[in-house]
Each structure stands twice: as structure tokens, then as C-alpha cells.
Structure 1
Amino acid sequence: MTDSVKPRGRASDKRRRLTAAAAQVLHQQGVERTTLADIARVADVPVGNVYYYFKTKDELVRAALSEHSAHLDELTGGLDELPDPRDRLKALVEAWVGRRETAVRYGCPTGTLAVEVDKRADGILDAEAGAVIRRLLDWAGHQFRALGLPDPDGLAVTLVAGYQGMSLLANALREPEIMTREGARLLGWLDALEAPGNPRGPGE
């Protein structure tokens, strides 16, 4: 039994490493510039193993999207430990700003990938990329709804659009300060939002 478990464990570890490598390399190099050999090198596995687990580059893109979704769930799961929805949203913005150097070099991981796969004709991968962004919008909308704010889904779009915009500009202009400044604006905006009939008191 021990011998039968070890190969499965090694196979699972290789697939996990390849998935993580796909997310990293596709973010850094883009879909078109990335080869299966690039993924294998970063994952530290023989290139033949990539073909064993992922037959096509599209399957690697799908794996990368799954990795981004898992990272998002990990991030929002940690934020959900905070008792106040406003604090969760502000901590999300602070997490974005904390990754500004990565954004400057490569852009938003999911956003840049979504733009790339949107150019493809089948429309399958771009829908999957959109689903990851939709998860973030749904989570943010839930926080605004918990605050009793009107149009919570619209507010979620404003928040995520603000992040995508500052990430894109920081990347295009190679200026991390853009994310610092715009992140501060988003934090001020979140602080200023008030539910109808329930204004925030001093110090709240």
C-alpha cells in the first residue's frame, strides 16, 4: 500500500507545481510567448511531464486560471476573518497596493490573462477568465450589501474597475506610485460611503 501511495503523491505534487508554474509564467510572459518548456523549467520537472498532465497550452491556461481562482479564495477567505465588511474591503485594497511592484512589471494576473484569451475565437477561455473576475465582484458585492449600501453590485464594479485601472496604468507607465495614490483614493472612498439613514459617527 505504501508503494502505491507514493507514485500518486509524486504525481499530485508534479501537477501542483506545473499548475503554479503555469500561473506564474503566463502572468510574466503572456500566453503567446510562453512555451511548455518554460513551464517545465520553472516547475523543475522534465518537459515530457508537461505533455502528460496538460496536452495543450489551452489546458495550461485553464490550470493557471484555476490557480488564480484558488489564490483569490485564499485571499478573501483570510479577509472574511475580519469582523467588519468595510475593513475587509479596505484590507483588499491594501493587499492590491502591497503587490504594486508585481503589477508594475506584469499587470494584474487575471486581468492581463483575460485580455489575452479574449482575442481567441472559441470564447471558452475568456469566459473562464471572466468567471474568476466575477468571483471577486460577487465577494465585494456581498461586503457592500452587508454594509446596507444601495447598489452593492454597482459599487463592487466601481471598486474592481478602480483596481484594474490603477494596475493597468502602473504597468503601462512603470510607476508603482500610481497604485499607492489610487489605492489611497479607494480607501477614502470606502470610508466615505454611508448607508441611507445610518450615517457614520465621528471616529467610526
Structure 2
Amino acid sequence: MTNSVDRRVRASQKRRRLMAAAARVLHEQGVERTTLADIAREAEVPVGNVYYYFKTKDELVRAALAEHTAHLDELTGRLDELADPRDRLKGLIAAWVEQRDVAARFGCPTGTLAAELGKRADGTLDAEAGAVIRRLLEWAARQFRELGLSGPDTEPDDLALTLVAGYQGMSLLAHALRDPDVTTREGARLLHWLDGLN
């Protein structure tokens, strides 16, 4: 009994390592340049074991998207513990700025993956990548709703779109220019914009 439990635990841990490795390697190298061997090496798993857990590269892309969703949920879960929705949004911006060096090297993990998947001929995974971004938009819109802003320029969904578009733009530019300071400056601008909303 203990041996079968141990095997299941080890199998679960190996699968988690492969999912985390897929998220990292696909972010750093892109879908087309990444091989299953790259992910196996990053996860410190024999390449033959990858096929036991994930039959295709697309399954690994889905696993990476699940990792991005889990990271987003973890971040927003921590932010939801803050009492003030404006503080939650500021915390989100601060988290983006903390990742400025990663953004400068590789771009936004989900945004770059969504852009790459959108160019594939089969078009099967781009909607799944878009769903992760939509999840962030919905969370941000809830925060803006809780702020109770009123006026023609304060529609919560539009404000959420402005915020997330600002993040995607600063990630893209920081990456294109290989300049993490772009994220720092744009993060400060987003904080100023947020403070000015009434």
C-alpha cells in the first residue's frame, strides 16, 4: 500500500515539475523552438518520461497555460486579502514591476504565448491563452467595480482593459528594447493614473 502511495506521490511531483518546466521553457524559447527534450532537461526528468504524462507538445502548452493560470490565481488570491480594491490594483502593478527583468528578457509569459499561438495555422490553443488574459481582465474589472467609480470614463471593464493593455504594452516594449526601466516608468505612470481615478 505504501509503495503505491509513494509511486503516486512521485508521479504527481514529476508531472508538476514538467508543468513548471514547460511554463518556463516555453516562455523563454517560444513554442516552435522548444522541444520535449528541452522541457525534460529543465524538469530533470528522462525525456521518455515526458510522453507518459504529455503525449504531444500541445498538451505541454496546455500545461504551461495551466501554470500561468495557477500563478495568476495565487497572485490575485494574495491581493484579495487586502481590504481596499485600489490597494489590490496597486499590488498587481507592483508585482508587474517586480518582474521587470524577466519582462525585458522574455516579455509577458501569457501575452507572448498568446501572440505566438495566434500565428499557428491550427488556431486551437490561442483561445486558451486568451482565457488566461481574460481571467486577469475580469479580476481587475471586479476591483474597479468595488471602487464604485461613476462617470462616463469609469466603466469597470474599460478601466480593466486600459490597465491590462498598459501592462502588455510595457512588457512588449521592455522586451523589444531590452530595458527593464520601461516597466518601472510605465508602472509608475499606471499608479499615478490609478490614484487619479475618482
For the criterion TM > 0.5, the same-fold answer is yes
Whole-angstrom CA distance in 1 between matches of 2:52 and 2:121: 26
- The correspondence of residues 99-118 of structure 1 with structure 2, limited to 5 A, is 99-118=99-118
Match of 1:173 in 2: 177
Cα displacement (A) at 1:124: 2.0
Match of 1:83 in 2: 83
Q: Partner of 1:13: helix, strand, or coil?
A: helix
Match of 1:27 in 2: 27
Does residue 186 (structure 1) correspond to residue 190 (structure 2)? The answer is yes
- Once the two structures are superposed, residues 164-186 of structure 1 have per-residue CA deviations (whole angstroms, 9 ceiling, x without a partner) of 00010000001111111110000
Whole-angstrom CA distance in 2 between matches of 1:115 and 1:86: 29
Match of 2:56 in 1: 56
Q: Structure 1 vs Structure 2: percent identity of aligned residues?
A: 78
Cα displacement (A) at 1:4: 1.3
Match of 1:200 in 2: none
Unpaired stretches in structure 2, ≥5 consecutive residues: none
Match of 2:126 in 1: 126
- The correspondence of residues 127-166 of structure 1 with structure 2, limited to 5 A, is 127-149=127-149, 150-166=154-170
TM-score (norm 2): 0.97
Match of 1:202 in 2: none
Does residue 38 (structure 1) correspond to residue 38 (structure 2)? The answer is yes
Q: Partner of 1:159: helix, strand, or coil?
A: helix
TM-score (norm 1): 0.94
Unpaired stretches in structure 1, ≥5 consecutive residues: 195-204
Cα displacement (A) at 1:3: 1.3
Does residue 2 (structure 1) correspond to residue 6 (structure 2)? The answer is no
